[in-house]
């Protein structure tokens, strides 16, 4: 027993986790020490061990894996069936257009390679001693992955064809928030837009519309050239987002390189935002810079930038809510919080109204968001749960309307979102308006009626910049899993699994992702305990010994 106790005591010196546990035990009885207070403050900001030695080959392998994956995805992805044929990246041995099976297999291979490269980049980002060099390395690797997916037709989505169609409408003096691209008549802009959205008003604000209009006019009203110009706009948005995320991370005492690697270098950003040419990049860029400005107490600039983000897509207004509520810090009264929140929203609304007037945009883009609810085949938990219940009831002979039941569950999801928003509002002075914004952006998507992978990027990145702490393994799993939710099959969510109980099987996929995230969390925790080198008996011996010492002290 003595030898076991001595080995356990020695092991404590190499186990920060056990030292922290013992200090907390002492704190319960005799009060917290300065060390405990410091560790309590820092424990949510997990930092990897910095290595002084050069391990450039690890970074190179990660970069190579991600680049090969991006090339395979770009070269094998089918083109949107209604798009005008254009040049694309091609690789010998990879057919395009290939069969559905070929496209799926190449996509899976590319995504696995990209995910491996991303995990490697995240691992290396915090282990480069020089912070500036780390940012340069991370930025260069991300750019290396982003270039292949930018060569050729848009990937995994046809939304950009609707963007440029709306830009063409605006350039002709047609309000895209009141009518759909069908008003253009028969041309390339209309034929490229998804038939589902040809008659639907645009759910995007004046900044998004002016960006699309500028792309069309710069391209000389050529659809293919307009899409390429819009790629440049998306790249600018991504760069803005990277700067903002890096600044927020530094303001929180975290590694900017790690935050950028996690929030900007993930497969969703590479494949869907950059490869799919989504205007979410603009919203993300303005919002990240605005929150970074607010963090540095430049609140008026922050309101202007977050207003611009809201004028791209309405969910960015969440940032205005929490910024206004926390405007005067943690000691403000309720009246002061309400007053500043109303003032922030009033000034932002006035600016957006002016922007709409300049662009020629009506208020229809705000109410047009409801049209997205007509999509039922994404992996939204609320949608899948509603339809799954209907499938089960219909299977046992109780015939119910699946759409009606799904609408009810969706309404409950939105109610839960409102409850979470209120809870975060009350807690935002303590947790911070940036983390509150990130939490709500994620909750709004996960509990909403439709989930597309690119909807999750902004909230995920903001949380990464605030510190993931012990939740990092779950985050990484969910981020990789969500990037699989759209397959290269003419822009629909993951393909069917066979006839019957389709939504129930989809709900099984959601449950599997949750289980994998939980499993990753548990596995990592156990791995860390084993990594510190203590057996269960040694850990028990340390706790018993320290408990006896505390009793003696008291």
pLDDT score recorded for residue 539: 43
Q: Which of 406-410, 442-446, 539-543 has the lowest mean pLDDT?
A: 539-543
Sign of the alpha-carbon dihedral angle for 395, 398, 399, 403:
negative
Tell me the average pLDDT across 91-110: 80
Instruction: Please state, for a pLDDT cut of 90, what percent of the chain lies above it.
Output: 43
Tokens describing residue 122: 């995240």
**CA-to-CA distance for 171 and 164, rounded, in angstroms?**
10
**Distance (Å) of CA 195 to CA 119, 199, 223, 300:** 38, 8, 17, 42
Q: Is residue 334 scored above 70 in pLDDT?
A: yes
What is the residue-wise DSSP string for 423-482? HHHHHHHHH-HHHHHHHHHHHHHHTSS---GGGSHHHHHHHHHH--GGGHHHHHHHHHHH
Q: Over the Cα atoms of the chain, what is R_g?
A: 25
pLDDT score recorded for residue 536: 43
- The winner for highest mean pLDDT among 186-200, 244-258, 373-387 is 244-258
Q: pLDDT higher for 457 or 90? A: 457
Q: Is residue 44 scored above 60 in pLDDT?
A: no
Q: Is residue 36 scored above 70 in pLDDT?
A: no
Q: Is residue 60 scored above 70 in pLDDT?
A: yes
Tell me the average pLDDT across 4-25: 46
pLDDT score recorded for residue 100: 75
Burial of 178 (0-12, 13-18, 19+ CB in 10 A): middle
Tell me the average pLDDT across 397-409: 81
Instruction: Provide φ and ψ at 504, rounded to 5°.
Output: -65, -40
pLDDT score recorded for residue 25: 44
Residue keyed to tokens 């983390």: 435
pLDDT score recorded for residue 14: 46
**Of the candidates 147, 3, 176, 179, which has an alpha carbon nearest to the alpha carbon of residue 75?**
147
**CA-to-CA distance for 78 and 10, rounded, in angstroms?**
60
Domain ranges of the chain: 56-157+227-495
pLDDT score recorded for residue 475: 85
**CA-to-CA distance for 425 and 538, rounded, in angstroms?**
44
**Of the candidates 263, 266, 210, 218, which has an alpha carbon nearest to the alpha carbon of residue 240?**
263
* Residue 139's pLDDT band (cuts 50, 70, 90): very high
pLDDT 10s digits, 213-228 = 999 999 999 989 999 9
Q: Is residue 69 scored above 80 in pLDDT?
A: yes
Q: Is residue 388 scored above 50 in pLDDT?
A: yes
* Residue 40's pLDDT band (cuts 50, 70, 90): very low
457-466 vs 223-251: helix crossing angle, rounded to 10:
20
Residues 6+ positions from 473 with CB-CB distance below 8 Å: 517, 520, 521, 523, 524
**CA-to-CA distance for 203 and 372, rounded, in angstroms?**
9
pLDDT score recorded for residue 371: 67
Q: pLDDT higher for 435 or 369? A: 435
280-295 vs 317-325: helix crossing angle, rounded to 10:
10
pLDDT score recorded for residue 70: 93
Q: Is residue 26 scored above 70 in pLDDT?
A: no
pLDDT score recorded for residue 374: 67
Q: Give the bridge partners for 548, in sequence order.
A: none
* Residue 330's pLDDT band (cuts 50, 70, 90): confident
**Structural element, H or E, at residue 493:** strand 492-493
Whether 420 and 436 have beta carbons less than 8 Å apart is answered as no
Q: pLDDT higher for 45 or 431? A: 431
Residue keyed to tokens 């990277």: 242
**CA-to-CA distance for 264 and 527, rounded, in angstroms?**
27
On average, the pLDDT of the chain sits at: 81
- The winner for highest mean pLDDT among 347-351, 389-393, 450-454, 464-468 is 347-351
Q: pLDDT higher for 521 or 162? A: 162
pLDDT score recorded for residue 378: 77
Q: pLDDT higher for 401 or 423? A: 423
pLDDT score recorded for residue 530: 61
**CA-to-CA distance for 159 and 157, rounded, in angstroms?**
6
* Residue 489's pLDDT band (cuts 50, 70, 90): low
pLDDT score recorded for residue 450: 85
């Amino acid at each position: 027993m003595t030898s076991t106790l001595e080995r356990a005591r020695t092991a404590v010196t190499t186990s920060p986790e056990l030292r922290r546990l013992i200090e907390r035990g002492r704190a319960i009885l005799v009060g917290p020490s300065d060390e405990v207070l410091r560790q309590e403050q820092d424990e949510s900001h997990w930092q990897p061990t910095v290595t002084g030695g050069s391990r450039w080959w690890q970074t190179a392998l990660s970069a190579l894996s991600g680049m090969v994956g991006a090339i395979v995805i770009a070269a094998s992805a089918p083109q949107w069936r209604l798009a005008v044929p254009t040049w694309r990246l091609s690789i010998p041995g990879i057919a395009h257009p290939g069969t559905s099976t070929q496209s799926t297999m190449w996509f899976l291979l590319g995504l696995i390679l990209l995910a491996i490269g991303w995990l490697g980049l995240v691992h290396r980002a915090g282990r480069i001693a020089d912070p500036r060099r780390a940012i340069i390395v991370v930025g260069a690797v991300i750019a290396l992955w982003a270039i292949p997916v930018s060569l050729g037709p848009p990937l995994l989505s046809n939304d950009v064809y609707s963007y440029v169609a709306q830009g063409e409408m605006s350039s002709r003096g047609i309000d895209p928030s009141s009518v759909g691209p069908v008003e253009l008549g028969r041309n390339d802009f209309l034929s490229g837009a998804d038939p589902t959205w040809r008659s639907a008003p645009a759910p995007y604000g004046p900044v998004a519309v002016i960006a699309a209009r500028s792309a069309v006019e710069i391209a000389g009203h050529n659809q293919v050239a307009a899409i390429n110009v819009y790629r440049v706009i998306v790249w600018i948005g991504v760069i803005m987002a990277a700067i903002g995320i890096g600044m927020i991370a530094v303001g929180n005492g975290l590694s900017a390189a790690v935050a950028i690697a996690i929030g900007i270098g993930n497969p969703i950003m590479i494949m869907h935002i950059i490869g799919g040419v989504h205007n979410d990049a603009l919203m993300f860029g303005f919002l990240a810079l605005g929150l970074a400005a607010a963090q540095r107490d430049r609140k008026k600039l922050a309101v202007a930038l977050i207003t611009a983000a809201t004028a791209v897509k309405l969910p960015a207004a969440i940032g205005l809510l929490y910024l206004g509520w926390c405007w005067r810090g943690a000691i403000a009264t309720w009246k002061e919080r309400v007053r500043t929140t109303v003032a922030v929203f009033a000034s932002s609304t006035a600016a957006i109204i002016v922007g709409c007037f300049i662009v020629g945009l009506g208020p229809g883009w705000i109410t047009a968001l409801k049209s997205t609810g007509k999509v039922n085949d994404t992996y939204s938990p609320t949608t899948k749960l509603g339809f799954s219940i209907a499938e089960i009831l219909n299977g046992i002979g109780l015939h119910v309307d699946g759409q009606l039941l799904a609408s009810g569950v969706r309404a409950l999801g939105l109610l839960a979102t409102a409850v979470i928003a209120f809870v975060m509002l009350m807690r935002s002075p303590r947790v911070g308006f940036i983390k509150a914004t990130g939490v709500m952006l994620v909750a709004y998507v996960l509990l909403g009626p439709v989930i597309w992978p690119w909807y999750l990027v902004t909230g995920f990145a903001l949380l990464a910049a605030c510190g993931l702490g012990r939740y990092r393994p779950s985050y990484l799993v969910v981020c990789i899993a969500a990037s699989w939710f759209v397959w290269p099959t003419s822009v629909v969510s993951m393909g069917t699994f066979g006839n019957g109980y389709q939504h129930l099987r989809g709900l099984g996929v959601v449950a599997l992702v949750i289980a994998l995230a939980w499993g990753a969390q548990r596995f990592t925790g156990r791995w860390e305990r084993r990594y510190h080198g203590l057996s269960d008996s040694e850990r028990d011996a340390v706790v018993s010994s320290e408990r006896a010492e505390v009793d003696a002290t008291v």
